[in-house]
Amino acid sequence: MKISPAEAVVMEVLWRASPRTAEEVFAEVGGPQRWTEATVKTLINRLLKKKAVAAERDGRRYLYRPVLERAAYIRGESQSLLDRLFDGRLAPLVSHLSQSRALSPEDMAELKRLIEEMDE
């Protein structure tokens, strides 16, 4: 499922806490993103059509909740990045990050720990 960067902003709100109304989503992202309420409702409708979110009627309003799990989204986006830029391989990405000095000492320690865990 392809989620645009703008749709991902809405999804992040719903992943943090849901269900939420469109107005609640707008209250959280409208100002920082400089979006109108109509823009937020359009993004929610796109996500509904993609079946990334579900709506439940609550009186005169709708409550929205994510159907797409955040972990599944991250997995798909990560794989897409690897496929597009690094031929689907993780090692060239890590090499690129280390050469561009984007890895902190804490990041490197964490990577070493993860590799050791995988070896066990």
CB 62 within 8 A of CB 48: no
The percent of residues above 70 in pLDDT, for the chain, comes to: 100
Q: Which residue has the higher pLDDT, 63 or 107?
A: 63
Average pLDDT over every residue of 73-101: 91
The pLDDT-based confidence of 120 (bands split at 50, 70, 90) is: confident
Confidence (pTM): 0.82
For the chain, the average pLDDT equals 94
**Contacts with 97 (C-beta within 8 Å, 6 or more apart), sequence order:** 103
Domains, in order of start, for the chain: 5-66 (1.10.10.10), 89-120 (no CATH)
Question: Per-residue pLDDT for 33 more than 90?
Answer: yes
Question: Per-residue pLDDT for 75 more than 90?
Answer: yes
Three-state secondary structure readout of the chain: CCCCHHHHHHHHHHHHCCCECHHHHHHHHHHHHCCCHHHHHHHHHHHHHCCCEEEEEECCEEEEEECCCHHHHHHHHHHHHHHHHHCCCHHHHHHHHHHCCCCCHHHHHHHHHHHHHHHC
Alpha-carbon gap, residue 52 to 68, rounded angstroms: 5
The pLDDT-based confidence of 57 (bands split at 50, 70, 90) is: very high
Alpha-carbon gap, residue 22 to 64, rounded angstroms: 7
Q: Which amino acid is at 42?
A: T
Q: Which residue has the higher pLDDT, 40 or 95?
A: 40
